[in-house]
Amino acid sequence: MQRLATAPLSIIIAPDPRLKARARVVRAEDRATLPPLIEGMFAAMYAAPGIGLAAPQVGVSLRLLVIDLQPEDKPAPLVLINPEILATSEERVTREEGCLSLPNQYADITRPARVSVRYSDLAGAARQIAAEGLLAACLQHEIDHLNGILFIDHLSPLKRNMILRRLAKEQRQKAAG
Ligand code: NI
C-alpha cells in the first residue's frame, strides 16, 4: 500500500507571541511524539521552500530544529534536538538572511563565521557538529528561534520595524487576495 506523504505543518508568521517564547527542552518522554512532528516540519520546509525550520515556527515549543541545505540539489536532512552552541569564532561574517516566518523579507545579518554545536539525534545519541559558511549561519538562526529571537532582532529598531510594517502590509494584501 502506498504510504501517504505527511501533510506539511503550517508555519507561523510574525508577529506572533509564539515566535518570541523560549522553547523547552525535549525530554525522553517527548521522543515518541517527535517523528510525525519532524516529518511535518520537513514537509513544510521543503514546500516553502526553505533551508531550516525550528519547532516554535510550527507552534510547538520544543528545542528541536530541522535543516537541509540540499548541497548539489540532493536532500541532506539534519535533525537537531536540544542544540547548544559550544563555541563561536571571533571572526564574524555578514550574510543576507530570510525566514519562513517573515516571508519575502531579507536583511544582512552579522554573526560569528564558525560555530560548534552539540545536540542529540533522533535516537538520543549525543552529537557534535562544527560548521562554517551557510550552515553556521543557518544553525545560529535556527537556534535563535528556540530562544524566541528572530533575525530581525539583530537589526536596529528602525530597520526591524520597517520590515515588520512591510510584512504586515504584504500579509494584508495577500489576505485581501
Ligand atoms: Ni527563521
State the total domains in the chain. 1
Q: Is residue 134 part of a domain?
A: yes
Cell of 59: 507552534
Q: Is residue 6 part of a domain?
A: no
140-154 tens-digit pLDDT: 999 999 999 999 999
Q: Is residue 3 part of a domain?
A: no
Per-residue pLDDT at 165 exceeds 90: yes
Quote the CA–CA distance of 165 and 47 in Å, as a whole number.
25
Per-residue pLDDT at 75 exceeds 80: yes
Per-residue pLDDT at 122 exceeds 70: yes
77-119 tens-digit pLDDT: 999 999 999 999 999 999 999 999 999 999 999 999 999 999 9
Q: CB neighbours of 81 closer than 8 A, spacing ≥ 6?
A: 26, 34, 63, 64, 119, 120, 121, 122
Q: pLDDT grade, residue 6 (50/70/90)?
A: confident
For residue 46, report the distance from its CA to the centre of ligand 1, in Å. 14
Catalytic residue among 39, 84, 142, 170: 142
Q: Is residue 102 part of a domain?
A: yes
At residue 48, the pLDDT reads: 94
Active site residue 132: no
Per-residue pLDDT at 2 exceeds 60: no
Quote the CA–CA distance of 138 and 69 in Å, as a whole number.
9
For residue 94, report the distance from its CA to the centre of ligand 1, in Å. 16
For residue 2, report the distance from its CA to the centre of ligand 1, in Å. 33
Q: CB neighbours of 128 closer than 8 A, spacing ≥ 6?
A: 86, 116, 117, 118, 119
Cα distances from 115 to residues 22, 134, 140, in angstroms, run 21, 11, 8
Q: pLDDT grade, residue 5 (50/70/90)?
A: low
Give residue 159's domain range: 17-176
At residue 4, the pLDDT reads: 53
47-64 tens-digit pLDDT: 999 999 999 999 999 999
At residue 119, the pLDDT reads: 98
Q: Is residue 4 part of a domain?
A: no
Q: Is residue 44 part of a domain?
A: yes
Classify residue 64 by burial, with Cβ atoms within 10 Å: 0-12, 13-18, 19+: buried
Instruction: Using DSSP bridges, classify how beta strands 92-99 and 64-67 pair: parallel, antiparallel or unpaired.
Output: unpaired
Instruction: Using DSSP bridges, classify how beta strands 114-120 and 126-132 pair: parallel, antiparallel or unpaired.
Output: antiparallel
Q: Is residue 156 part of a domain?
A: yes
Per-residue pLDDT at 68 exceeds 90: yes
Q: Rounded to 5 degrees, what are φ and ψ at 58? A: -110, 20
Q: Is residue 8 part of a domain?
A: no
Q: pLDDT grade, residue 71 (50/70/90)?
A: confident
At residue 72, the pLDDT reads: 86
CATH code of the domain containing 132: 3.90.45.10
Single-letter code of the amino acid located at 152? I
Q: In the predicted model, what is the mean pLDDT of the chain?
A: 95
